Amino acid sequence: MRGALPPSMAVAAGLVAGLAAAPAARAGAWLREPGEGMIYLSQEASRDREWGGTWGYTTLYGEYGFRSWLTLGIDAGKGEQDDDWKLVSFARTGWDPGFLPGRVAIELGFGASGTEDGGVEAIVQPVLSWGNSFETAFGWGWVNIDARGEFYMGPTWQNVETAPEYVPWQVAEGYKLEVTLGLSPTPRTQVIVEFRGEDPVDGEQMLSVVPSVARRFGEHVWVRLGGIVGVENDDSVGLLLGSRFEF
């Protein structure tokens, strides 16, 4: 049949699809096999090139294949301030669309985060992803795009102070777009470039680039080292160190 992959190429493509986001936090359009999962932990340390301030952020991310069509997971993060945290649980499903190459996935997450006034607000986090793997002269490569909305819902603090008997809720929204390009020159090495675009709840739209290299040790552990460079409305520069355990 025209267009069919040889068996060896089909197997390789399947392996790349399963590992497409191996050292990154999110698996994007790809699902976990039933009974299989992973845990990813990373630390980012950044410095502002203009005013010299420094900050860090820790990410804990996990996925588990609950069914062949359903992956469950958690997405948690913690900054240096006590109120800078979030914890989201999510469900993802995906399919081959047929009218374009690769895979499409949709994800919906619910959770909570801290607020500047020391309170807690709810988060609804929908994600639409597309990903595709392909062969190059330098090894198997992939591309993945995640479009994410972040909707924060909580009481308006000013009204709590002035009229505690009536606490109206406010909704704040932000958006993120992450484009990941990856290449596996060897089965144990991956070269990754992430483009992170963000339209936050407060502030201007931002763009940063995160190039990194990941290396697999043994059968189940990846270690990732990269840099963070602000490009648009972002004067930060930093380092990223991540590790991932598959089970």
Q: Which CATH number describes the domain made up of 7-246?
A: 2.40.160.40
46 contact partners, CB below 8 Å, separation of at least 6: 54, 55, 56, 57, 228, 236, 237, 238
| Pairwise CA distance, residues 167 & 83, whole Å | 21
- Give pLDDT, residue 221: 95
- 195: buried, middle or exposed (CB in 10 Å: 19+, 13-18, 0-12)? middle
pLDDT at 175 over 60: yes
Would you state the pLDDT for residue 16?
Answer: 44
What pairs with residue 129 in β-bridges?
105, 146
Task: Find the range with the poorest average confidence among 51-60, 123-132, 222-231, 235-244.
Answer: 51-60
pTM, entire model: 0.83
Q: CA 223 to CA 217: how far, in whole Å?
A: 8
CA distances from 5 to 134, 160, 182, 217 (A): 11, 62, 21, 30
- CA distance linking residue 178 with residue 198, whole number of Å: 8
pLDDT class of 166 with cuts at 50, 70, 90: low
Tens digit of each residue's pLDDT (9 = 90 or more) over 99-118? 889 999 999 999 999 888 77
**SS3 of 162, please?**
helix
Q: What are the tokens at 22?
A: 């191996």
Domain assignments of the chain as residue spans, ordered by start: 7-246
